[in-house]
């Protein structure tokens, strides 16, 4: 009997055996016996051919239920391919271990569906007439000649895109983790040629506000980007968490832009995090518009709070969007004057306020525990535990399911860097096209930068344009958070994460990309010194892939093969293959298992009452249409099976019916009336013989 089903002859033999037994067995014992029998593999009548296999494996004898096997045979498996580790370096790598090579890996995009972004901005991609007539209007010219008999040409102006775009990129400290997303946004807006022009400026606030187009050029005042015609859109790429957002330094610049041109904040964070940024100092509003291309001061404002601020008429409404396609689409329709496009935003105050200071989880615990507590260390640890549980609980209540899945994958990841996070998201959350789950995880208060990651000279590197160093920064969970996550959320296997990321790396190995990040190839047979503990591996790659690159990588692959016992290419390793042989109760000598023990079985006698049960099956099939109406036909068929009845008492009995194996469809389709989501997805279920 096998797990793939059983023939009717096997069923009859089972029923015959049950009827001949004298000793009664319970239904649980019979069910467990059948469960075990269905999972015993059938006899193997052939030996599979393995590549270059020199070991002959004798076919196994059929294993009968109740008869212990006296001999264990070890199958011949092909040796695993030698693999090199791929390690993520830190900001200060130091002296690398021997047999280490740098490698550049393709960095996955944060915006995976660029076409959907352009489609969301389609309302802004209209064309308008530009300048005087220079191009012959053939249809209008022919029409005039036919009506007036005057052979005079009619010229029409050239058509050009309606808007040009100015992207102002916030380069604050908190924006470092979004550099890959910003590059994707710039690439999408520039590569499709949908706008008249796309200019990119870096926002630098050092006393005054300046816009820098290139590092080797002087800054521009914000007034230079103002277009009096109103055909320019200013998009501020920011998380609104910088100091100049809180103290009000940037507000006059936004006021000046919003009085003349459509101005929007493209937020890096999801909507439920906006109130935690400087936007929380403003008043949430809903914005609509009925005038194409209207500036911010001409938008229709609906306040979303009960009390309206006293200076509401003096505040500037600023729409806020995210990278979600639906947010960009609504904002685009609002800009062109469609009243259906309602966009969220804020009435920003005219002045600033105090800049909040974030505290670590240890500092918060120290503040909560009084100084006169007898056992202060224990109280502080308990406070840290409570704060960690509170953060995780808040995260699970407010975050999306994709963010919760991502945080568990990171809890199982051997190293957390920005490129590794993007690889994990791309390899194990391929259905997620939005970068917002990454923002939810990094801004949740659950992660922290590891010490010694170059935070002291971070601002100098930003001014020098060396933002690539942010890919080297490693993160970890704050105190006690990892343990709390493993308790509350479904656990993830670390090996599965490494294997899936390794497969994603190998798929992109030879792909051409405009964005990559640096890593290091390490020989797993070479020990890493203790001072390089930060050089942790997050994936691996086979020697065959490295060998195809040639040069130093081919030599590195050769070292892997030698270290793995494979020897030189085309040469024998000089070592004899381990001879597989049949071992009689000697398994523990080669694999760390306890000694096998002999088992004695007692003959079980089952007294049963067997009856034949007749039943009728019905199949509903849709037939051809008649007079445009669907005809459903019910096909009925008679069948019979065996029923085993166990008497439990004078007035109670338990019946078990043999159900033949097969397949059936479970669940309801979306088109079924009054169906529920819990009944989906509709799927096919296979069942084997059951009683």
342 & 371 share domain: no
- The verdict on 310 and 382 lying in the same domain is no
Which segment of 168-182, 289-303, 431-445, 664-678 scores lowest on mean pLDDT? 664-678
> How much is the average pLDDT of 43-52?
39
Domain-located, residue 90: no
Asked if the structure places residue 301 within a domain, the reply is yes
pLDDT tens, position by position, 407-429: 989 988 888 888 899 999 988 88
In-domain check, residue 311? yes
Rounded to an integer, the average pLDDT of 77-101 is 71
Question: Residue 309's pLDDT is what?
Answer: 86
Looking at the structure, tell me whether residues 384 and 506 fall in a common domain.
yes
Write out the DSSP string of 232-252: EEEEEEE-S-SHHHHSSTTHH
Asked which of 42-51, 185-194, 548-557 is least confident by mean pLDDT, the reply is 42-51
Q: What tens digit of pLDDT does each residue of 543-584 get?
A: 888 887 778 888 888 888 776 655 544 444 344 333 444 444
Same domain? For 41 and 140 the reply is: no
Q: Do 194 and 140 have their domain in common?
A: no
* Residue 432 shares a structural domain with residue 288: no
Q: Among the three residues 473, 491, 518, which one is the final residue of a domain in this structure?
A: 518
d(CA 431, CA 426): 8
- Whether 429 maps to a domain, the answer reads yes
On whether the CB atoms of residues 575 and 565 are closer than 8 A, the answer is yes
Do 216 and 305 lie in a common domain?
A: yes
Q: Which residue has the higher pLDDT, 226 or 36?
A: 226
The model's confidence at residue 263, banded by pLDDT at 50, 70 and 90, is very high
Q: Is residue 656 one of the residues assigned to a domain?
A: no
Q: Is the pTM of this model over 0.85?
A: no
Same domain, 218 and 310: yes
Residue 185: pLDDT over 60: yes
- Using an 8 Å Cβ cutoff, are 362 and 372 in contact? no
> What pLDDT score does 158 carry?
80
**Which of the two residues, 592 and 393, has the higher pLDDT score?**
393
Q: Say yes or no: 338 and 396 in one domain.
A: no
* H helix and E strand count, the chain: 18, 22
Q: Taking a C-beta distance cutoff of 8 angstroms, is the pair 685, 660 a contact?
A: no
**Tally of domains in the chain:** 4
Among 65-69, 212-216, 614-618, the range scoring the smallest mean pLDDT is 65-69
Residues 212 and 303 in one domain: yes
Extended strands (E) in 239-341: 263-267, 283-288, 300-303, 316-321
Tell me the C-alpha distance between 370 and 61, whole Å: 73
Question: Would residue 261 count as lying in a domain?
Answer: yes
Please report the pLDDT score of residue 584 as a whole number.
Answer: 45
Which of 607, 625, 645 is the last residue in one of the domains? 607
Of 81 and 108, more confident: 108
Three-state SS at 515: coil
Report yes or no on 91 lying in a domain. no
- 7-11, 132-136, 462-466: range with lowest mean pLDDT: 462-466
**Domain that residue 398 falls in:** 361-518
Say if residue 170 is in the same domain as residue 153: no
Please report whether residue 555 resides in a domain: no
- Is residue 154 located within the same domain as residue 215? no
In the predicted structure, residue 340 carries a pLDDT above the cut 90: no
Q: Which of 28-32, 106-110, 417-421 has the lowest mean pLDDT?
A: 28-32
Measured distance CA(605)–CA(412) in Å, rounded: 51
Of 324-333, 402-411, 569-578, highest mean pLDDT:
324-333
């Amino acid at each position: 009997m096998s797990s793939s089903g059983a023939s009717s002859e096997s069923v009859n033999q089972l029923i015959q055996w049950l009827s001949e037994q004298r000793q009664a067995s319970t239904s649980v014992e019979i069910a467990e016996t059948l469960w075990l029998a269905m999972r015993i593999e059938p006899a193997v009548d052939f030996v599979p051919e393995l590549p270059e296999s020199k070991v002959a494996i004798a076919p196994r004898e059929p294993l009968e239920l109740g008869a212990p096997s006296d001999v264990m045979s070890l199958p011949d498996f092909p040796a695993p391919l030698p693999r090199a580790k791929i390690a993520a370096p830190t900001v200060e790598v130091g002296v690398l271990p021997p047999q280490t090579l740098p490698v550049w890996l393709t960095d996955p995009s944060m915006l995976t569906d660029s076409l959907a972004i352009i489609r969301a901005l389609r309302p802004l991609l209209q064309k308008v007439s530009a300048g005087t007539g220079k191009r012959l209007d053939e249809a209008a010219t022919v029409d005039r000649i036919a009506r007036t008999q005057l052979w005079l040409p009619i010229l029409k102006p050239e058509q050009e895109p309606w808007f040009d775009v100015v992207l102002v990129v916030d380069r604050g400290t908190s924006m470092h983790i979004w550099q890959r997303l910003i590059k994707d946004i710039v690439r999408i807006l520039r590569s499709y040629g949908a706008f008249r022009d796309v200019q990119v400026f870096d926002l630098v606030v050092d006393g005054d506000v300046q816009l820098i187009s290139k590092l080797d050029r002087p800054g521009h005042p914000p007034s230079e980007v103002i277009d009096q015609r109103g055909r320019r859109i200013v998009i501020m790429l920011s998380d609104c968490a910088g100091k100049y957002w809180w103290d009000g330094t940037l507000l006059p610049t936004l006021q000046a832009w919003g009085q003349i041109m459509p101005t929007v904040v493209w937020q890096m964070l999801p909507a439920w995090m906006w109130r935690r940024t400087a936007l929380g100092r403003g008043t949430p509003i809903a914005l609509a518009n009925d005038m194409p291309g209207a500036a911010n001061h001409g938008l229709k404002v609906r306040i979303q709070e009960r009390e309206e601020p006293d200076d509401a008429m003096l505040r500037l409404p600023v729409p806020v969007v995210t990278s979600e396609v639906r947010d960009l689409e609504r904002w685009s329709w609002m800009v062109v004057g469609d009243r259906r496009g309602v966009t969220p935003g804020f009435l920003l105050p005219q002045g600033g306020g105090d800049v909040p200071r974030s505290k670590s989880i240890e500092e918060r615990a120290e503040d909560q525990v009084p100084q006169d507590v007898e056992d202060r260390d224990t109280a502080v640890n308990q406070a840290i535990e409570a704060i960690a549980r509170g953060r995780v609980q808040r995260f699970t209540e407010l975050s999306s399911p994709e963010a919760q899945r991502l945080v568990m994958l990171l809890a199982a990841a051997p190293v957390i860097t920005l490129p590794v996070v993007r690889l994990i998201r791309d390899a194990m959350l391929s259905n997620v096209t939005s970068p917002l789950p990454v923002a939810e995880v990094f801004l949740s208060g659950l992660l922290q930068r590891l010490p010694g990651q170059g935070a002291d000279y971070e601002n100098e590197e930003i001014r020098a344009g060396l933002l690539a160093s942010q890919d080297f920064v490693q993160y970890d969970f704050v105190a006690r958070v990892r343990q709390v996550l493993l308790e509350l959320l479904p656990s993830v296997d670390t090996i599965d994460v490494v294997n899936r990321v390794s497969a994603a790396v190998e798929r992109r190995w030879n792909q051409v990309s405009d964005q990559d990040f640096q890593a290091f190839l390490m020989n797993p047979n070479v020990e890493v010194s203790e001072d390089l503990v930060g050089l942790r591996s997050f994936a691996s790659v086979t020697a065959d892939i490295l060998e195809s690159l040639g040069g130093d990588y081919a030599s590195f692959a050769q070292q892997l093969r030698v270290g793995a016992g494979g020897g030189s290419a085309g040469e024998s390793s000089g070592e004899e293959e381990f001879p597989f042989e049949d071992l009689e109760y000697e398994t523990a000598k080669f694999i760390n298992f306890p000694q096998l023990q002999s088992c004695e079985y007692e003959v079980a006698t089952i007294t049963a009452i067997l009856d034949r049960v007749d039943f009728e099956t019905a199949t509903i099939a849709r037939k051809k249409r008649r007079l445009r109406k669907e005809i459903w036909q019910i096909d009925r068929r008679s069948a019979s099976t065996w029923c085993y009845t166990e008497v439990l008492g004078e007035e109670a009995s338990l019946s078990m019916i043999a159900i033949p194996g097969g397949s059936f469809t479970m669940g309801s389709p979306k088109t079924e009336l009054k169906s529920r989501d819990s009944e989906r997805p509709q799927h096919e279920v296979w069942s084997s013989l059951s009683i």
